[in-house]
A = this chain, B = another copy of it.
Amino acid sequence: MDEFKVTPWDVEGLVDYNKLIEEFGTSPLTDELLEKTAQLTKSELPLYFRRRFFFSHRDYDKVLQDYESGKGFFLYTGRGPSGPMHIGHIIPFFATKWLQEKFGVNLYIQITDDEKFLFKDKLTFEDTKYWAYQNILDIIAVGFDPDRTFIFQDSEFTKIYEMAIPIAKKINFSMAKAVFGFTEQSKIGMIFYPAIQAAPTFFEKKRCLIPAAIDQDPYWRLQRDFAESLGYYKTAAIHSKFVPGLMGLEGKMSASKPETAIYLTDDPEEVGRKIWKYALTGGRATAKEQREKGGEPEKCVVFKWLEIFFEEDDKKLMERYHACKNGELLCGQCKRYLIKKVQEFLKEHQKKRKEAEKKVEKFKYTGELAREQWDKAVPEALKG
């Protein structure tokens, strides 16, 4: 379990999440915090929280305090539009939607077409703008409140440059290098980019809560170094685990390994065949051996996907776990069950994605929060 590596660009190996909490210096998302979340929202926790898909945080306790005391908070997340979105990308958006809905707060979604163009040698700016639009459809399909959600694309909402300038005066090359591993060959756009990414944490003079996979944490550590010197809050975050690819629990689902990923625009029938063919299970070499020794659900991608997203019902999930352990279930049965769940999800998502085409304008320009942001002057403290 020693060989794993987590940076904002790579996740390799089987991840030891407790070790990540220690290494990143974050805090575990405790039972107490989750109970308080349930209590404040007067809701049952969704599976992302019940099952600790979100497992770590920074200052989430303070976010809850701010909510309780009436100060409030806001949500910020984003997407780097370098290609089609897969299931691993969209799950945190569902968790974010739950938070928006239950706490009734504003949400800012940054589409970083500048970042992806700058960091990916082979992508043109036209490419990342194309994917920006495509990805926005997937995001809207999740079902956010169009009047409390502002989706903005860096290359369009260039006001963000003005906000990034005071931030970019707080970070020197050495600091950025330490966090992001820049070299002499890094393009000056890449070097500047952390300032653009930090800017939305200052969109409101409240605490900002970022739900994101833990590999994104380094970006926010820099923000937390200088935020208070600009008269703002250090951003808070809740960190998710990674959604593994079809072929193994190591690492995360990756768009660069298409056979391991389920894209949101994939044809559901094709997806069925892909899962059937590629999904790694915790099964034994033969059906006979499996019936005798039982399967190993902790080594099984099919079970992991059900756990993370596709089996809403805790009781059913546990029954499946035990049935597998006891050798009562064969892998084909589980695969078929997962395939049905994934296909249902994709059909529903693709329907909503189609409807989203008519909603893009509202989320980007004409919704209440969008209009407010386009009209708003730059926050006082960011005036330098």
Interface of A with B (CB < 8 Å)?
114, 117-118, 123-129, 155-156, 158-162, 164-174, 176-177, 182-192, 194-195, 382-384
Q: List 30 A-B contacts (CB under 8 A).
A: A114-B162, A117-B165, A117-B166, A117-B384, A118-B165, A124-B383, A124-B384, A126-B383, A156-B162, A158-B159, A161-B161, A164-B189, A168-B187, A168-B188, A168-B189, A168-B192, A169-B189, A172-B185, A172-B188, A173-B173, A173-B182, A173-B186, A173-B187, A173-B188, A174-B184, A174-B185, A188-B192, A188-B194, A189-B195, A191-B191
A165 contacts B155, CB within 8 Å? yes
The 9 closest A-B pairs by CB, nearest first: A125-B384, A168-B189, A192-B192, A161-B161, A158-B158, A174-B184, A124-B384, A158-B161, A155-B162
Note all chain B residues with C-beta closer than 8 A to A384.
117, 123-128
Note all chain B residues with C-beta closer than 8 A to A169.
117-118, 187, 189
13 new A-B contacts at CB < 8 Å, known A125-B383, A155-B165, A173-B173: A118-B168, A124-B384, A160-B161, A167-B189, A168-B189, A168-B190, A171-B187, A171-B188, A172-B187, A173-B182, A173-B188, A173-B191, A176-B188
Note all chain B residues with C-beta closer than 8 A to A159.
158
Least Cβ–Cβ distance between A191 and chain B, in angstroms: 5
Note all chain B residues with C-beta closer than 8 A to A125.
165-166, 382-384
Note all chain B residues with C-beta closer than 8 A to A126.
383-384
Q: How far is the CA of A192 from the CA of B182 in the complex (A)?
A: 14
Note all chain B residues with C-beta closer than 8 A to A158.
158-162
Note all chain B residues with C-beta closer than 8 A to A188.
168, 171-173, 176, 191-192, 194-195
Residue of B nearest to A185 (CB): B172
A165 contacts B185, CB within 8 Å? no
Note all chain B residues with C-beta closer than 8 A to A184.
172-174, 177
Q: How far is the CA of A100 from the CA of B367 in the complex (A)?
A: 44
Q: How far is the CA of A302 from the CA of B80 in the complex (A)?
A: 60
Least Cβ–Cβ distance between A177 and chain B, in angstroms: 7
Q: How far is the CA of A171 from the CA of B185 in the complex (A)?
A: 9
Q: How far is the CA of A161 from the CA of B188 in the complex (A)?
A: 13
Least Cβ–Cβ distance between A164 and chain B, in angstroms: 8
